[in-house]
Homo-oligomer: A and B are copies of this chain.
């Protein structure tokens, strides 16, 4: 179990350099119903700071309405939802589109981490 340092409502996105949205089915399914989580996602996109989402994580991006016109990847089960939200969905271990890094599954984590670190170093 990971104990959070702060609750969603206490987070000031301006104080952070990057946002990582992990996977799991229940995690984004719960977060997408939290307005504070959606506000954090939108703040990172508005500021064009690095955002990395893997597996089911991009579901939260669909809810935040930030994927229109973006190229990304995800766990297979949510790709129709991402396309319906306006994204171009591809099947690659990692996709970088501007400030956004996405991957499909746990096996992609090394490439996912490398891409995210690269984005942070260039930011």
Interface residues of A (CB under 8 A from B): 25-26, 29-30, 32-33, 56, 62-63, 65, 76-77, 80-81, 84-85
A-B contact pairs, 17 of them (CB 8 A): A25-B26, A25-B29, A29-B77, A30-B77, A32-B77, A32-B80, A33-B76, A33-B77, A62-B80, A62-B81, A62-B84, A63-B80, A65-B80, A80-B85, A81-B81, A81-B84, A81-B85
A77 and B28 CA atoms in complex are apart in Å by: 9
- Enumerate chain B residues within 8 angstroms of A56, measured Cβ to Cβ: 29
**Is chain A's interface secondary structure helix, strand, loop, or mixed overall?**
helix
Shortest A8–chain B CB gap in Å is: 16
Chain B residue at smallest Cβ distance from A32: B77
What 10 A-B pairs come out closest when comparing CB atoms? A84-B84, A81-B81, A29-B77, A25-B25, A63-B80, A84-B85, A33-B77, A25-B29, A32-B77, A33-B76
A29 and B30 CA atoms in complex are apart in Å by: 14
Shortest A7–chain B CB gap in Å is: 19
Chain B residue at smallest Cβ distance from A81: B81
